[in-house]
Structure 1
Amino acid sequence: MSRKNRACPCGTGEPYAECCGRLHRGEATAATAEQLMRSRFSAFAVADEEYLLRTWHPDTRPPSIEFDPGQRWTSLEILGRTGGGLLHREGTVEFVARYRIGGQDGEMRENSRFLRDGEQWLYLTALGTR
């Protein structure tokens, strides 16, 4: 099955092309901080460096992103959020991102901070990871 028809890695159950794929292709922007978080998880899953850098706040954006070819992002679970809605200028999203690497399962927990710049949400920083 092509990536276009597969379920989106972000976990909504929608086809990738109609979910995060639209954001990755620049056809739409994330309406909320959570939607941006989900689309960034999907960008890591499909190794879309351009999208990740485009949606990273310039104050904290790295020059490039190194992907581990042996790592496969497997699921995303949103644990909570503050702000980040249609009428907000900032917000946080706490999540667990699960992956598989070298035959072992792992997870990354993070509480991410997002800021809205005009009509676009941007990832600013992690408030905490484990």
Structure 2
Amino acid sequence: MIRVMVVDDHLVVRQGLAACFEYRTEDVRVVGGCGRGDQVVDAAHTLAPDVVLMNCNMDGGDGWAATEALLAVQPHCHVIFFSAIGAGPADYARARAVGAVGYLHKSVDPDDLENYVREVAAGGTAWPGLLDHNDNS
């Protein structure tokens, strides 16, 4: 079972992703989440996720700082930025710099999202449109 934590300041996003994975997959489950960047480390400690879907901009600390803090104490977590804000090369570079292994737009097809989560959990990456998502460099 792949354990996913969703970090987003919109409850409907957290609940919607949980319902989506519950309904569509047998191997991926949202085990919980939080709505503020400053809650990420404690939530991850409790939930023990394999993959974290992280919003970039939220109250209580942004996703960039939250990712750095999380990976400093739980380097085995795989963080994918999951944002409604379109990403360009600078955003991808920033995400990589803080330790994320992907950046997906919230308009991603559900089938693709599931596949990216599986790929990232297996040690791959999720950089659609910019980098080959099998590139671990």
Q: Structure 1 length as normaliser, TM-score? A: 0.32
Q: Which has more strand, going by share of residues?
A: 1
Whichever structure has more helix as a proportion of its residues is: 2
